[in-house]
Amino acid sequence: MRQVILDTETTGLSALEGDRIIEIGCIELDDRRYTGRQLHHYVNPQRSSHPDAVRVHGITDEFLADKPPFAAVAEEVLAFLRGAEVVIHNADFDIAFLDAELSRLGRPPIRQTVVGVIDTLAMAREQYPGKQNKLDALCKRLEVDSSHRELHGALLDAGLLAEVYLRMTRGQGSLVIDEGGEANAPWHQAATDLRALPLPVLRASAEEIAAHEEMLADIDKASAGKTLWRTLADSAA
C-alpha cells in the first residue's frame, strides 16, 4: 500500500475566507516503509499571512515573495498524491485548503485524486479519549523526538506525523531502516513465542488488599453508591 504523509502551512485558519496554502510537505511510505521520496514546496499565497499564523510557522510574506504560486506546483503535487492513501493530522483542515486551491484552478477535489484519507487526529481521539491529541502531545506520548521542532513546518511535521502514525498503528519503532536489518523482514518473523515461558503470579499482600478496599469505598462514597461494582453486587444478591 502506497501512502503519503501530508502537511500544510497556511496564511490563516479559514480556507472559506480566502486563506491560502504557503507550504506543503509530503513523505512517501510503501508497505509502511520510508521510500526516500518526498515533496516540498513553499508557495506564494498572493496575500498576507495573519500575524498569529506567522507566530506559529515563522514564514514571512517577504520570504514567500519570490516563491511560485500554487498553480505552478499543482501538477507536481497531484502527481505525487495520485493513487495514494493520504495520512493527515486534522485532515478536514488540510483537505479544505487543497480543495480551495484546486477549485481556483478548475480542478476536482483532492479526494478524486487519492484512494483514501486517514485522519490521525480522529484516530488519536478514538485511541486516547479525553487526552491532548495535537501532534506535539502525540510525539511526547509515543516517544517520537520532536525536540528540534521550534516552529511548525510542513515537511518537518510530515516526518513527525509519519513516525506517530506508524507507532499508533502497528508499532514500527522508526522510519529509519537499515539494509538487511530486521525492519525489512515480515512482522511475523520478528515475533517471539512466549507460550513456553513461565508466568509469575504476584499476589497482593494484606496491606495492599486493605488499601484497595479503602480506595473502592472512597470512590463508591463519592459517586453516592452508583459504582458499577456496587450495582452488580446488588443485582447478584
Q: Summarize pLDDT for 7-31 with one digit per residue, the tens.
A: 999 999 999 999 999 999 999 999 9
Mean pLDDT of 58-81: 97
Are 100 and 45 members of one domain?
yes
Is 188 within the bounds of a domain?
no
The boundaries of the domain holding residue 212 are 206-236
Is 195 within the bounds of a domain?
no
Mean pLDDT of 34-49: 97
Are 30 and 144 members of one domain?
yes
CATH code of the domain covering residue 165: 3.30.420.10
For the question of whether the overall pTM of this predicted structure is more than 0.95, the answer is no
Is 57 within the bounds of a domain?
yes
Say yes or no to pLDDT of 195 above 60.
no
Are 91 and 153 members of one domain?
yes
Is 187 within the bounds of a domain?
no
Q: Which of 41, 50, 152, 212 is catalytic?
A: 152
Is 38 within the bounds of a domain?
yes
Are 150 and 210 members of one domain?
no
Is 193 within the bounds of a domain?
no
Is 228 within the bounds of a domain?
yes
Are 169 and 213 members of one domain?
no
Exposure b/e, 3-22, CB count within 10 A at least 16 = b? bbbbbbbbbbeebeeebbbb
> Does the annotation mark 152 as catalytic?
yes
Cβ-proximal residues to 48 (8 Å cutoff; 6+ apart), any chain = 11, 61
pLDDT class of 179 with cuts at 50, 70, 90: very low
Give the span between the Cα atoms of 120 and 165, in whole angstroms. Answer: 7
Are 160 and 211 members of one domain?
no
Are 141 and 51 members of one domain?
yes
Domain count, the chain: 2
Is 70 within the bounds of a domain?
yes
Q: Summarize pLDDT for 131-150 with one digit per residue, the tens.
A: 999 999 999 999 999 887 77
Ordered strands of the 2-10 beta sheet: 33-42, 21-30, 2-10, 85-88, 116-119
Mean pLDDT of 231-237: 66
Q: Summarize pLDDT for 84-132 with one digit per residue, the tens.
A: 999 999 999 999 999 999 999 999 999 999 999 999 999 999 999 999 9
Q: Which three cell numbers stand for residue 7?
A: 502537511
Give the span between the Cα atoms of 168 and 5, in whole angstroms. Answer: 14
Give the span between the Cα atoms of 148 and 193, in whole angstroms. Answer: 38
Mean pLDDT of 27-48: 96
Mean pLDDT of 67-95: 98
Residue 3's pLDDT is what?
A: 98
Are 72 and 110 members of one domain?
yes
